[in-house]
Amino acid sequence: MGPPKPTFRLTFLSAFTALLVTLAWTTYARATPGIYQQRPSGRDYPDLYEASISELQDGLERGLFTSVELVKAYFARIEEVNLQGPALRAVIETNPSAMEQAAALDLERSRSGRRGPLHGIPILVKDNIATDASEGMNTTAGSFALLGSVVPRDAHVVALLRQAGAILLGKANLSEFAHGRGDTPNGWSGRGGQGTSPYVPLGDPSGSSSGCAIATAIGLAAGCFGTETGGSIISPSNFNNLVGIKPTVGLTSRAGVIPLSSHQDTVGPLARSVADAAVLLSAIAGPDPRDNYTLAQPQDVPDFTQALKADSLQGVRLGVPRKVFASLDAHIIAAFNATLDIIRELGATIVDPADLPDFEELEASDNQTTVVFTDFKIDLNRYIEELLEVPTGIKNVEDLVAFNFEHADQELPQPFWTDQSGLIQAQNTTGVNQAYYEAVAFDYELGGARGIDAALQAFQLDALLSPSNLAAGPAAIVGYPVVIVPLGFLPPDTPLAEANPIRETGPNQPFGLSEFELISYAFSYEQATHARLKMLAYPEAIPKTQLRDVLAEM
């Protein structure tokens, strides 16, 4: 959830306090029950590299395959590339109860039909999202210090996923403690090792929801839930050619999530399409008494799939905050500029430039550091205190720092992963005081009233539009949502950067488009461009196992 390194995708940004949607979705499959009917012969099964949730649900409903077979296929794909072959290290552990869950959901489908669009669909969750330890998985934020710890209950979002009939396939790797531990390479954790991009060999996967992005990009699951504090869904979605939704803070519960900052943390989906992301978000949004931020949101949570209409850009005014582009690669700016013509053809008016009035002040402000590290110490200490059991004996951030020094071979290995300055900086904070309250208030004003809100009002905009996760900072400090969709790829002759231990850039590295209203606009753009499949992952990173291989073994 912590601050990742800069990335390149197209972002849509809005000041709405919830991702309100008004449009109708007509593409989601509604097949009839009958999972155990005779399978049609010669049937083409969905390609798991790109299979949508609706395609998988359609196959399950028509009896082409079962959830048990789907779990077997995903497990086989993980086995191929996670620790073997390119060793992408996307998944920390798989769920030993997944097959049992799948069998129970197959039986339920045959007897009473499906619960909804996620019934029997395997998904991953980031390793900072709690799952009941009795299921057989750990919740560690990638740290050996929390290995074997027992959480009091499922995270609220996990409980909602179970209620929706989703299958928890496993835990995704991440930048340890959501990149809050210190200055370590994106995608590395002590338990999970160094995750890498499926598009550039040894490439930077970004973070902190690195494993989610790697796994979803190449079809190791139907989708994944990550977390964001300041770019940690948007940035890895950018680097791995995905759709990512960073929800408004409070739209989804953080209860049971290993925290970084209660003011900025949020849980959201990473997916291969806007439709899939909308299905996933709809499953986890809503109030939770254990997270008071969710109680400030509308009690009637919208069905975000109703936003999926291809003509939603007609009559919309979108602004381009050009001042944030200064550090971008020329190829990314050129691709973005070409995309503006496509968006105009879809009926939108582009206001360019439409800069945030306080851009320079936003760039100079360090208030976010004060807020996040103060929150980190308070929130993480509270999380550890509520655990039912911690075999390593750690009780707080101070103990965690000491554990890492004492187990340096696991947690501080040479030469790239020795830093824990984030934990030390958090430990050195002095708690909630006047400076902290002033920093919180200043952030809200800087990012909102004098930042995003001011730009929207001054230029009469519906949303802001930019390449990359350039919108992550202002949106993070004020809690606003961001959606990102694939835009393009760096040229094939882009030089491979040196791997230390990961490469910052390389040929065919994806980048995307992000926006602050969000699902509707992203869907319209996605349907017009279909940019994601213009370039696949490098061949060794693409698992070969498909459903037909699993079915052939039965």
- The predicted pLDDT at position 515 comes to 55
> Any catalytic annotation for residue 395?
no
Distance of alpha carbon 151 from the chain centroid: 22
Do 123 and 269 contact (CB within 8 A), yes or no? no
For residues 516 and 491, the model is more confident at 491
- In the block, which residue shows the tokens 């049971």? 256
Query: 543 is written with which tokens?
Result: 């698992």
Residue-wise pLDDT for 51-91, tens only, equals: 999 999 999 999 999 999 999 999 999 999 999 999 999 99
Asked if residue 288 has pLDDT above 80, the reply is yes
Query: 458 is written with which tokens?
Result: 């001054």
Alpha-carbon separation of residue 483 from 468, 493, 535 (angstroms): 11, 29, 21
- If pLDDT is split at 50, 70 and 90, which confidence band does 350 have? very high
- If pLDDT is split at 50, 70 and 90, which confidence band does 517 have? low
Nearest to 310 by CA among 282, 279, 348: 348
Alpha-carbon separation of residue 381 from 119, 385, 397, 399 (angstroms): 36, 6, 6, 10
Lowest-confidence pick of 333-342, 484-493, 515-524: 515-524
Q: Which residues pair with 171 in a beta bridge?
A: 93, 125
Taking residues 464-490, report their average pLDDT: 88
Sequence-ordered list of residues with C-beta below 8 angstroms from that of 218, at least 6 positions apart, any chain: 49, 77, 81, 88, 198, 537, 541, 542, 543
Lowest-confidence pick of 6-20, 312-326, 346-360, 463-477: 6-20
Query: 255 is written with which tokens?
Result: 């209860």
3 state SS for 139-200: CCCCCHHHCCCECCCCCHHHHHHHHHCCEEEEEECCCHHHHCCCCCCCCEECCCEECCCCCC
**Rounded CA separation 244/37 (Å):** 36
> Any catalytic annotation for residue 323?
no
- The predicted pLDDT at position 43 comes to 66
Cα angle for residues 181, 186, 190 (degrees, 5° grid): 55
Share of the chain above pLDDT 90, in %: 86
Do 101 and 121 contact (CB within 8 A), yes or no? no
> Any catalytic annotation for residue 54?
no
Taking residues 3-27, report their average pLDDT: 33
- If pLDDT is split at 50, 70 and 90, which confidence band does 34 have? very low
* CA dihedral sign, ordered 66, 69, 75, 81: negative
Taking residues 178-189, report their average pLDDT: 98
**Rounded CA separation 113/510 (Å):** 39
Torsion of the alpha carbons at 155, 159, 161 and 162, rounded to the nearest 10: 130
- The predicted pLDDT at position 282 comes to 96
Q: Which of 143, 208, 262, 312 is catalytic?
A: 208
Asked if residue 275 has pLDDT above 50, the reply is yes
Taking each helix axis as running N to C, give the angle between helix 67-81 and helix 53-61, from 0 to 180 degrees, rounded to the nearest 10.
Answer: 140
Q: Which of 72, 126, 171, 377 is catalytic?
A: 126
**Rounded CA separation 13/112 (Å):** 41
- If pLDDT is split at 50, 70 and 90, which confidence band does 472 have? confident
**β-strand 266-271 against 349-351: which pairing, if any?**
unpaired
Average pLDDT, the chain: 91
Do 446 and 477 contact (CB within 8 A), yes or no? yes
For residue 90, what is the DSSP state? Answer: -
Residue-wise pLDDT for 200-254, tens only, equals: 999 999 999 999 999 999 999 999 999 999 999 999 999 999 999 999 999 999 9
Taking residues 441-459, report their average pLDDT: 95
- The predicted pLDDT at position 552 comes to 87
Asked if residue 16 has pLDDT above 90, the reply is no
- The predicted pLDDT at position 25 comes to 24
- If pLDDT is split at 50, 70 and 90, which confidence band does 469 have? low
Asked if residue 31 has pLDDT above 80, the reply is no
Query: 494 is written with which tokens?
Result: 């882009």
- If pLDDT is split at 50, 70 and 90, which confidence band does 143 have? very high
Do 266 and 289 contact (CB within 8 A), yes or no? no
Do 144 and 410 contact (CB within 8 A), yes or no? yes
Lowest-confidence pick of 37-41, 384-388, 404-408, 508-512: 37-41
Q: Which of 52, 206, 209, 232 is catalytic?
A: 232
Nearest to 173 by CA among 156, 190, 160, 158: 190
Taking residues 354-377, report their average pLDDT: 94
Asked if residue 17 has pLDDT above 70, the reply is no
Residue-wise pLDDT for 85-140, tens only, equals: 999 999 999 999 999 999 999 999 999 999 999 999 999 999 999 999 999 999 99
Q: Rg of the Cα trace of the chain?
A: 22
- The predicted pLDDT at position 78 comes to 98
**Rounded CA separation 381/428 (Å):** 13
